[in-house]
Chain A
Amino acid sequence: MGFRKGTLTLAKYRVIGTLPDNFRTFVDERLKLFAFRELSVDETEKSVGWTSFENVLDTNFEYASYSLADYLVFSLRIDRRVVSPSLLKLKVLEAERQTTVQRSKGLGYREKRSDIRERVHLSLLKQTPPTPSIHEVCWNVSAGWLLFGSLSEKIREDFEDLFKRTFGLTVHRFVPWDANYMSAEMAERTLSATTATPFHTSTERT
């Protein structure tokens, strides 16, 4: 699925900021610095990083494999551990029962319910294998925009944050009616015309 084959899902961004003159070297260094790394056993939440578009297991970007004509094409990989809510519920119940029994025998202390939940969640998280997701990035550097292959809010936030940390550039979600990118005159025209003539489709309000 994506630029290689199949259907595409995409959101467009404006890329704001200036890249250094030696930007090819800069991009190469920064992509490698923020490349994806596997979650270690002790890491509980998620790992976010760049991988090659050609080969998702390639995080060395051999032969600048991300460079394609005027574009930089690479992928964002996010590995996230997610505990099944029903499993968590069962295990918390079990743990609560255990602490009640221990307490009745005079063993242990009264552990708060929220603490039990937190402890069980953490323990389950460490046992859960991470679920990976891959999202393509196609960046037209000279035109100052890029296409990103996910519409999920959570994933887009991870992408925007990592892009900023990697390249020191901000990405703004593209919509063609963004007043920040209109001339003052155009914004004034848009405001006055749409206020003066609202677009009512209702036949009762003609």
Chain B
Amino acid sequence: MMEASGKDFSFLGREFLTWLWFKSEQRGGAIMLPGEGDVVVAFVRRIILSSGEGEYSETVSCQGLHSDLKEGKEALRKGKKIKEARIKLDINTDEYEFTFKADSFQFQTMKLPTSLTMTEEEEDKEGRILERIYQTEAAVGTMETFFSLFLEKRLSPAWQSEEIPLFKKWLAE
């Protein structure tokens, strides 16, 4: 038996984000969350791919609506994984957008859904702030659930027999 306590699994962050890009290209980006239904994921505008660590790391940044796919996939084929990406989530028709940092599971410049029922005057009210806290929780929680789905798959025999062949096929497209 291997000694797993205290083991650094931080490489899973980039594996997860790389897998999530692949999933966002399947079924129109819809990922089924148990008990909650489909959440639609899209990678938008910007992805950063990297290989290696510290002074040996090589990074590629892809920007633009369509060019990113081609160049990003090319970087994947060369062994890089996604370190950072701008992601759009559609949860029950509510749209969220944020930059996600894979190594530290952090969120940057997150846009929350706009509430049509609130007026400018009501923006400062407690209810509005609470709503925005719930929305933030929903976005962060969804990414955590995605990670759980990824890990479940990653640790199962289906990773090698089903997921990797599909991933390779997508990569070759």
Chain A residues engaging chain B, CB cutoff 8 angstroms? 3-5, 7-12, 68-69, 71, 73, 138, 147, 151, 173-180, 184, 187-195, 197, 199-206
Contacts and interface: CB of A to CB of B under 8 A. Distances in A.
A188 B4 contact: yes
B45 to A, nearest CB: 15
Given A147-B140, A194-B11, A203-B172, 18 more contacts: A4-B123, A4-B132, A7-B111, A8-B110, A10-B107, A11-B107, A147-B136, A175-B10, A175-B104, A176-B105, A176-B147, A179-B9, A190-B9, A191-B7, A197-B164, A201-B80, A202-B77, A205-B79
Contacts of B133: 3, 68, 71, 73, 138
B168 interface: yes
Nearest to A7: B109
A4 B129 contact: yes
Contact of A206 (B4, B81, B168): B168
Contacts of A5: 123
A122 B123 CA distance: 44
21 contacts: A7-B111, A9-B108, A10-B106, A10-B107, A10-B140, A12-B105, A12-B106, A71-B130, A71-B133, A147-B140, A174-B105, A175-B10, A179-B5, A187-B4, A188-B2, A193-B155, A200-B79, A201-B18, A201-B77, A203-B77, A206-B168
Q: What is the interface residue range for chain B against chain A?
A: 35 or more
A12 B154 contact: no
B76 interface: yes
Interface of B: 1-2, 4-13, 15, 18-19, 76-81, 101, 104-112, 123-124, 126, 128-130, 132-133, 136, 140, 144, 147-148, 151, 154-155, 159-160, 164, 167-168, 171-172
Given A193-B159, A194-B154, A7 B110 contact: yes
Nearest to B78: A202
A151 B101 CA distance: 10
Contacts of B80: 201
Contacts of A71: 130, 133
B7 to A, nearest CB: 5
A199 B107 contact: no
A12 B9 CA distance: 18
A177 B4 contact: no
Nearest to B143: A176
Contact of A68 (B10, B126, B148): B126
Nearest to A173: B104
A200 B79 CA distance: 7
Contacts of A138: 133, 136
B47 to A, nearest CB: 13
Contacts of B128: 4
A188 B79 CA distance: 26
Contact of B2 (A192, A199, A200): A192
